[in-house]
Amino acid sequence: MVKRYLDMITLRDTLDLIKKSFDFQPSSEKVGLEKAVGRISAKAVFSKYSVPMIHLSAMDGIAVRSEDTQGASQSNPVKIKDYKRVNTGNVIPPGYDSVIMIEDTWEDKDCFIIRKSSHPWQHIRPVGEDIGESEMIIPKYHLIRPNDIGALASYGVTEIEAISLSAGIIPTGSELVPFGEEIKPGRVIESNTLMAGAILESAGVAYKRYPIVIDEPDLIREQVKKGISENDFLLISAGSSAGTKDHTASIIAELGEVLVHGVAIKPGKPVIIGKIDGKPVIGLPGYPLASYTIMREIVCPVLEMFGFKVPYKHKITAEISNSLQSPIGTDEFVLMSVGRVDDRYVAVPQSRGAGVQMSAVRSNAFMKIPGDMEGISAGNQVEATLSVTPEQAEEAFLIIGSHDPCLDFLADIASAKGVDVHSNHVGSMGGIMALKKNNCHVAPVHLLADNGEYNIPYIRKFLNGKEIYLLCVAEREQGIVSETGISFDEIKDHTYINRQRGSGTRMLLDYLLKEKGISYSEIKGYEREVTTHLDVALAVRNGEAECGMCIYSAAKTLGLKFEPVIKERYELAFSKEMLKDPRMDAITECINSQEFKNSLLKLGGYDTKNTGEIRKA
Amino acid sequence: MVKRYLDMITLRDTLDLIKKSFDFQPSSEKVGLEKAVGRISAKAVFSKYSVPMIHLSAMDGIAVRSEDTQGASQSNPVKIKDYKRVNTGNVIPPGYDSVIMIEDTWEDKDCFIIRKSSHPWQHIRPVGEDIGESEMIIPKYHLIRPNDIGALASYGVTEIEAISLSAGIIPTGSELVPFGEEIKPGRVIESNTLMAGAILESAGVAYKRYPIVIDEPDLIREQVKKGISENDFLLISAGSSAGTKDHTASIIAELGEVLVHGVAIKPGKPVIIGKIDGKPVIGLPGYPLASYTIMREIVCPVLEMFGFKVPYKHKITAEISNSLQSPIGTDEFVLMSVGRVDDRYVAVPQSRGAGVQMSAVRSNAFMKIPGDMEGISAGNQVEATLSVTPEQAEEAFLIIGSHDPCLDFLADIASAKGVDVHSNHVGSMGGIMALKKNNCHVAPVHLLADNGEYNIPYIRKFLNGKEIYLLCVAEREQGIVSETGISFDEIKDHTYINRQRGSGTRMLLDYLLKEKGISYSEIKGYEREVTTHLDVALAVRNGEAECGMCIYSAAKTLGLKFEPVIKERYELAFSKEMLKDPRMDAITECINSQEFKNSLLKLGGYDTKNTGEIRKA
């Protein structure tokens, strides 16, 4: 029976159903020790013999009969004539039962003199000291580490039986361009199976990527038949929605059984769980972030059921910076940047746009908003799962505030110093508010006050009582971007693309309009907001608007004309506590570096004479 | 100038000196995205174009001109004749600026009727929504994850420039047998370079293992010259001590410079740090645990200086179960089993014997006793670094107490249930004391009281006030092992191998000797103690003693004769709190399993009629 797309079941029920529906016996294969790190043993490995196999000397010295040494003391030196010279690791010759260290002996003509008796088994590594014949070295389902390899090799093991699984991945979709070919507007590079393959590989599962199949049921059916015959586990990428071109579910139903079509999970709702020839088949959704979510939340648990160790397991508790709404009845997964600010982790949600794949790159963690919650309020504790190691999460440096393209270059230079910059563009005022709640390490700001001064008046007003410092990134030129060279005075004669409320650039526009007595309604396009300088320039280049306000570098990058309006001070605001944070030291060093200044000069429109200057607000 | 072996410097000074002595510029190489997971970017990757490249529909619906929809409402339906049908992901045809979802329209003959106006850019994914042309995708020194692969591929990236380093590893030593060949008594399988290679590989460093070179200076010199010419970094395994056959230091001095010979670190003291042709050369000590320690504590930091991400970084705080002495002036590294007992981690130190390589397999963590400390007292907090993932450490199940070979089989069966058994053999009384301090999950015991009852009298006496339960593993036969069939009454006529004080087997011997009026001094070999049943049987088979007391299975495994003495109840003691621990559930399930009972029957000498029985002490 095919369960329909709209009869969605919960993620937990889906996993329970999967657990009951298959017997999860992985295959196994012999793997040479040189290749065994990261593999999982399929059965216990026992030692075939004792190590050492024979008594060995643990010291450089002489092997003696302990009975010959009895009574030796400082006042009663004893001459030992029956001995054998041994070095560390040498076999103890038969008949001897004790080793005296060479430094405790005095060599005489034909003998050694000792001044202390030696007890039996002294300085001898007896047979089986390390491991005894028949003892277990590693159990089954043991993840092999480099230190295990060394020991196994020492004990004469040359290969292990490791669990294995072969997975096939079939990409489907007529809109897809194969990876490696030139992208064309309106077409999509087939990237999901690359991501899926990389996750399988991280877990130690071998995979085969099949060629792209266009949306033709007959072709898909043939490929699925082939995929299932050649593998233990099959992933079919895309075609899982309920649309007319989505054939995956009906083909699985034809060749086997659809267990689930549609899970109450976001993103990833249209996932299909099927069974063909007793093997699990998973239909992945087409949207990259949905596909990534299903790989993490369903495919990884399936691999665990087979006995593999999977990534995405380490959880931390964090304080969420923003409130999030979420549909009731659906487990929603939200990508986030987490970083340690003072003594707790802060989690900053990334864009939830289904098409914003950069969220997966920018984030270092994710969280689940469970189906029984309508959302989460800012400041609450949440459980975040890391997509990096715990140590990398400690390197995260949270920047929340105004956008500037130079933050990319700052992130690049900082990365070499072990600082992982996470920038969130919410405008200058958003930055000030994040700093107020202690939700970021630094807030980039460029806020012009009525007295003509930058930043400090706003900080004093909104962060009253906090000791705040400002690190100057640069002075930069703001102006009007256009194809034709429109000046500020001409903007009301043209369509305009605006920045979001709370951004310094928007506040500058409003300030200037007020000064010049122009009302907002005179600006055509005033309502449409984008969030970065580059977005403004892109909108102009694409003809969505004739002009907008942005910094010079954004206009230059896209080859557009620029009419300067003002030079403004772009600074990073931070609290006193950060002065002793090593991540802040690294960032300050980066901003002062010639490499960073050179990148500003290359971007254009920056004056670096105050770059690196720190002032108290 | 060659610094001599005995002028030892601290580990910290060694690392500082290394940092100053090289410029650590890794090479880089192009890596196809399919192979890029786990690699580190050598430079930032920027997006060559915007994604989407062109405005796309975010919904299935109709593309319209928003101005045509103005004024539409429930009471004022508007007919739209100028439209284009679009599906999700389709390019928005030129001239249209808004998308209306198909479910919000009513199709009529040649038009669609709408009842709500549509604003510009509604349901359109504008150019650059995901990423804008020129924006950074990843910075340099970024560790590539599967989610990064997907995004990079989507943005048309097919390969990245990744940092790379080629390392050479030269094994030296005339006593070595190549990995893969049959081991012979008194010779050593060359396993250190396998372990070292596996660590390099875990960090993403390519390595080449050279053939074994015997202890001949000319041959070693030639191989070192070749190794340094073919690689960026060279490891020379063994030959680093100050002994006569240890040529590594003088050859490095001849071809370049020895920076350090001898570091105040244990194990691993004889390490050599050298420089040839400006490249780092490290002489690893020969003992496997020393070599492993130097790989972790010196080679991994060197790889980090080159920009690689290395294992062995995650630290936890644990309470140490035993006091440890340590030499002042030397940083000593101790391998440990850590596990969460109640709400804190307990760390149980493993054998520090230089030749006990199993310590590296049995442990899941290690700690440093710093040079300025003479040791650490039981119950103190220590910082432990994990050699497994944090999640695997949570699976650790600490068994401290009496030894039985069946614990290996229990560990094997439990591993399949996600429980990682760590057994420490300290005898029954040691187990009771560990339970008293809450340092283990269960304590295996077999203690015969004067009233003939097993275990409960001891628990009542020593764990008074604690609610303790006992899970029966089996009843097992204890007896006298020998080559010739010696019975208990004959042991005083033969040499004997004893068990350690506090073990149940030792207590049984003492009890029986007392009962029979035999004094300890009548037993030849009473002083020599070993810690497991198998060690007793091994000593007998190797002729170290003629008899000893052990369980039947140990005698059987080694093909020895066995004269039964008593049948005893071998049980796991645990506190009430463990009754609700899922790891305890799994262990109970394993003991009750047919698989476990079968392994007892195969071992021999066990009666399983009470196996799995739980009683309250």
At the top level of CATH, the class of A315-394 is mainly beta
Let me know: does A229 contact A295? Beta carbons within 8 Å: no
Report the residue from B55, B129, B195 with minimal CB separation from A356: B129
Query: To the nearest whole number, what is the mean pLDDT of chain B?
Result: 94
Residue B246 has pLDDT above 90, yes or no: no
Q: Which residue of A has its CA nearest to B558?
A: A133
CA distance B142 to B139: 6
CA–CA distances in Å: residue B196 to residues A30, A145, B183, B209, B412: 22, 11, 20, 10, 27
Rounded percentage of chain B residues whose pLDDT exceeds 90: 88
Angle between helices B594-603 and B582-592 in degrees, nearest 10: 60
Q: What three-state secondary structure class fits A346?
A: strand
What integer pLDDT is reported at residue A86 of this predicted model?
Answer: 92
Sign of torsion, CA A536 A540 A545 A549? positive
Task: Grade residue B88 by pLDDT with cuts at 50, 70 and 90.
Answer: confident
Chain B residues within 8 A of A151 when measuring between CB atoms: 191, 288, 357-358, 360-361
Peptide bond preceding B52 in cis form (omega within 30 of 0): yes
For residue range B399-443, what is the model confidence (pLDDT) as tens digits?
999 999 999 999 999 999 999 999 999 999 999 999 999 999 999
Report the residue from B38, B185, B307 with minimal CB separation from A54: B185
Sign of torsion, CA A120 A125 A126 A131? positive
CA distance A90 to A87: 5
Architecture of domain B56-125: Beta Complex (2.170)
Q: Closest Cα to residue A350, out of A235, A267, A274, A284?
A: A267
Burial class (CB in 10 A: 0-12, 13-18, 19+), B403: buried
Q: Which of B30, B102, B145 to mutate to test the interface with A (most CBs of A within 10 A)?
A: B145
pLDDT (average), residues B534-560:
94
Burial class (CB in 10 A: 0-12, 13-18, 19+), B67: exposed
For residue range B475-512, what is the model confidence (pLDDT) as tens digits?
999 999 999 999 999 999 999 999 999 899 999 999 99
Architecture of domain B11-26+165-305: 3-Layer(aba) Sandwich (3.40)
The distance of B463 to chain A (nearest Cα, Å) reads: 32
State the amino acid at position B413 in one-letter form. I
What integer pLDDT is reported at residue A242 of this predicted model?
Answer: 58
- In CATH terms, are A27-51+130-164 and A315-394 the same topology? no
Chain B residues within 8 A of A126 when measuring between CB atoms: 538-539, 542, 544
Report the residue from A34, A132, A421 with minimal CB separation from B534: A132
Burial class (CB in 10 A: 0-12, 13-18, 19+), A109: exposed
Q: Which of B317, B361, B557, B558 to mutate to test the interface with A (most CBs of A within 10 A)?
A: B361
The distance of B61 to chain A (nearest Cα, Å) reads: 13
Q: Which of A33, A205, A357, A395 to mutate to test the interface with B (most CBs of B within 10 A)?
A: A357
The distance of B232 to chain A (nearest Cα, Å) reads: 20
DSSP H helix total and E strand total for chain B: 17, 38
Q: Does domain A27-51+130-164 have CATH number 3.90.105.10?
A: yes
What integer pLDDT is reported at residue B14 of this predicted model?
Answer: 98
What integer pLDDT is reported at residue A1 of this predicted model?
Answer: 35
What integer pLDDT is reported at residue B241 of this predicted model?
Answer: 65
The CATH number given to A427-616 is 3.40.190.10
Domain segments of chain A as ranges: 11-26+165-305, 27-51+130-164, 56-125, 315-394, 427-616
CA distance A589 to A566: 28
CA–CA distances in Å: residue A377 to residues A374, A382, A383, B555: 10, 10, 14, 66
Those residues whose C-beta lies under 8 Å from the C-beta of residue A302, and which sit 6 or more positions away, are A18, A233, A280, A282
CA distance A112 to A83: 8
For residue range B69-84, what is the model confidence (pLDDT) as tens digits?
999 999 999 999 999 9
Mean pLDDT by 10 residues, chain A (617 residues): 60 98 95 95 95 90 94 93 90 92 90 92 91 95 96 95 97 91 85 96 95 95 98 90 75 96 94 97 94 97 96 94 94 97 96 90 97 95 96 96 96 96 95 97 95 95 95 97 97 95 94 93 92 93 94 94 97 97 98 97 96 96
The distance of A139 to chain B (nearest Cα, Å) reads: 4
A396-401 vs A443-445, strand pairing mode: unpaired
The CATH number given to B315-388 is 2.40.340.10
The distance of A82 to chain B (nearest Cα, Å) reads: 20
Chain B residues within 8 A of A46 when measuring between CB atoms: 408
Report the residue from B307, B411, B532 with minimal CB separation from A136: B411
Q: Closest Cα to residue A105, out of A116, A121, A93, A90?
A: A116
Let me know: does B72 contact B116? Beta carbons within 8 Å: yes
CB spacing of A412 vs B44 below 8 angstroms: yes
Q: Which residue of A has its CA nearest to B90?
A: A186
What integer pLDDT is reported at residue A401 of this predicted model?
Answer: 97
CA distance B197 to B219: 22
What integer pLDDT is reported at residue A17 of this predicted model?
Answer: 98
Q: Which residue of B has its CA nearest to A418?
A: B141
Report the residue from A137, A389, A528 with minimal CB separation from B120: A528
Let me know: does A329 contact A336? Beta carbons within 8 Å: no
Q: Which of A155, A303, A412, A596 to mutate to test the interface with B (most CBs of B within 10 A)?
A: A412
Chain B residues within 8 A of A204 when measuring between CB atoms: none
Burial class (CB in 10 A: 0-12, 13-18, 19+), B555: buried
The distance of B409 to chain A (nearest Cα, Å) reads: 8
What's the predicted TM-score (pTM) here? Answer: 0.93
What integer pLDDT is reported at residue A408 of this predicted model?
Answer: 96
Task: Grade residue B6 by pLDDT with cuts at 50, 70 and 90.
Answer: low
What phi, psi does B170 have (nearest 5°)? Answer: -110, 115
What the block records as the tokens of B553 is 């299975």
Residue B361 has pLDDT above 80, yes or no: yes
State the amino acid at position B126 in one-letter form. P
What the block records as the tokens of B19 is 């940092």
Q: What three-state secondary structure class fits B512?
A: helix
End-to-end Cα distance, chain B: 68
Q: Which of A88, A125, A134, A394 to mutate to test the interface with B (most CBs of B within 10 A)?
A: A134
Q: Which of B412, B528, B540, B544 to mutate to test the interface with A (most CBs of A within 10 A)?
A: B412
Let me know: does A573 contact A589? Beta carbons within 8 Å: no
Report the residue from B50, B190, B309 with minimal CB separation from A538: B50
State the amino acid at position A419 in one-letter form. V
CB spacing of A202 vs B37 below 8 angstroms: yes
CB spacing of B49 vs A414 below 8 angstroms: no
Q: Closest Cα to residue A46, out of B604, B409, B74?
A: B409
CB spacing of A130 vs B358 below 8 angstroms: yes
What the block records as the tokens of A336 is 């986030």
CA–CA distances in Å: residue A526 to residues A61, A543, A545, B235: 90, 15, 10, 65
Report the residue from A37, A54, A131 with minimal CB separation from B198: A37
Report the residue from B37, B135, B147 with minimal CB separation from A292: B147
Chain B residues within 8 A of A191 when measuring between CB atoms: 149-154
Report the residue from B136, B356, B390 with minimal CB separation from A408: B136
Chain A residues within 8 A of B410 when measuring between CB atoms: none
Let me know: does A118 contact A71? Beta carbons within 8 Å: no
Chain B residues within 8 A of A34 when measuring between CB atoms: 194, 197-198
CB spacing of A87 vs B243 below 8 angstroms: yes
B547-551 vs B468-482, strand pairing mode: antiparallel
What integer pLDDT is reported at residue A6 of this predicted model?
Answer: 53
Those residues whose C-beta lies under 8 Å from the C-beta of residue A247, and which sit 6 or more positions away, are A172, A215, A217, A220, A239
Residue B288 has pLDDT above 60, yes or no: yes
Chain B residues within 8 A of A127 when measuring between CB atoms: 538-539, 542
What integer pLDDT is reported at residue B59 of this predicted model?
Answer: 87
Report the residue from B128, B314, B528 with minimal CB separation from A121: B528
Residue B5 has pLDDT above 60, yes or no: no
State the amino acid at position A115 in one-letter form. R
Pairs of CB atoms within 8 A across A/B: 320
What the block records as the tokens of B47 is 């997006």
At the top level of CATH, the class of B425-616 is alpha beta
Residue B1 has pLDDT above 60, yes or no: no
Let me know: does A68 contact A80? Beta carbons within 8 Å: yes
CB spacing of A44 vs B558 below 8 angstroms: no
Task: Grade residue B2 by pLDDT with cuts at 50, 70 and 90.
Answer: very low
Those residues whose C-beta lies under 8 Å from the C-beta of residue B465, and which sit 6 or more positions away, are none
Question: Which helix (DSSP H) or strand (DSSP E) does residue A337 occupy?
Answer: strand A331-341
CB spacing of A358 vs B131 below 8 angstroms: yes
Q: Which of B195, B395, B406, B595 to mutate to test the interface with A (most CBs of A within 10 A)?
A: B195
- DSSP-assigned letters across all residues of B310-375: -S---EEEEEESS-EE--TTSEEEEEEEEEEETTEEEEEEPP--TT-THHHHH-SEEEEE-TT-SE
CB spacing of A91 vs B158 below 8 angstroms: no
Chain A residues within 8 A of B60 when measuring between CB atoms: 243
Let me know: does A176 contact A164? Beta carbons within 8 Å: no
The distance of A571 to chain B (nearest Cα, Å) reads: 21
The distance of A32 to chain B (nearest Cα, Å) reads: 10
Task: Grade residue B7 by pLDDT with cuts at 50, 70 and 90.
Answer: low
ipTM: 0.92
What the block records as the tokens of A8 is 């969605």
Q: What share of chain B is helix, strand, coil (3-state, %, to 5)?
A: 30, 30, 40
The size of chain A, in residues, is 617
